[in-house]
Amino acid sequence: MRLIRGFGLVLLVLGVAHIAAAQTVSKSTKSRGGLAKYRLKLLDGRLSEQYENSKRLLPKDQGLPRYFGAYRGKFLPMAEKAAAKFGVPKDLFARLIQKESNWNPNALSPDGAIGLGQLMPETAARLGVDPRDPQANLEGAALYLKQQYTRFRSWRLAVAAYNAGPDAVVRYNNVPPFAETQAYVLTIFGR
């Protein structure tokens, strides 16, 4: 009899614990989605480092924006080729060119930036490209963006460095707090 009461007590305790646990877990899609994202990041991050042969679960370009701009002219395929040549995500690069020059190969900024990628003359010279030639300008812009990515290991910081200069990103160890750069990064990434 004592055994049955003991067993009943165990079931009662387990039942109460189960009910208490169930009450703390939300059934909403939002919290389940958040939990799934957390678990995926955990698996992809710390746990994948433990296994040499494990594969990343998250795509490398997660979080990078798609290009949905209206422009579909002759410079878009040129931009995609330049991006591919230097290993820059093509949609990110298209959004950058959209923001920089609105696809105008003759764009000239008040600061002296030239062409589709709005390259400064010194930067174009350092990269060895003619900023007035659309193809060369796009290749120079893609190369410069890739150089910033190689330096900062973040597309967000690379885009900030493209706009504000790499020294500003180094100084703040983040996207610089300049209104123009903050708005620029927000426009490119859409968030």
Give the CATH number for residue 85.
Answer: 1.10.530.10
58 in a domain, yes or no? no
User: Is position 56 within any domain?
Assistant: no
Same domain assignment for residues 18 and 81: no
The single residue listed with the structure tokens 């812009």 is 141
Q: Are residues 126 and 183 in the same domain?
A: yes
Do the domain assignments include residue 57? no
What share of the chain in percent tops pLDDT 90?
A: 61
pLDDT at 18: 52
Tally of structural domains, the chain: 2
CA 22 distance to own-chain centroid: 36
Same domain, 87 and 179: yes
Residues 79 and 40 occupy one common structural domain: no
Strand partners, 105: none
Mean pLDDT of the chain: 82
Q: Could you say which DSSP state residue 46 is in? A: I
107 is a domain residue: yes
In a domain, 11, yes or no: yes
Residue 147 has pLDDT above 70, yes or no: yes
Is 102 part of a structural domain of the chain? yes
Tens-digit pLDDT profile for residues 65-95: 788 888 889 999 999 999 999 999 999 999 9
- Identify whether residues 80 and 162 lie together within a single domain: yes
Q: How far apart are CA 63 and CA 182, in angstroms?
A: 17
Is 66 part of any domain? no
User: To which residue do tokens 């790499």 refer?
Assistant: 166
Instruction: Identify the active-site residue in 49, 52, 100, 122.
Output: 100
122 flagged as catalytic: no
What is the predicted pLDDT for the residue at 75? 97
Identify the domain containing residue 46 by its residue range: 2-50
Residue 61 lies in a domain: no
Q: What is the DSSP letter of 47?
A: I
Handedness of CA 147, 148, 151, 153 (dihedral sign): negative
**pTM of the full structure:** 0.67
113 and 158 co-located in one domain: yes
Sort 139 into a burial class: Cβ within 10 Å, 0-12 / 13-18 / 19+: buried
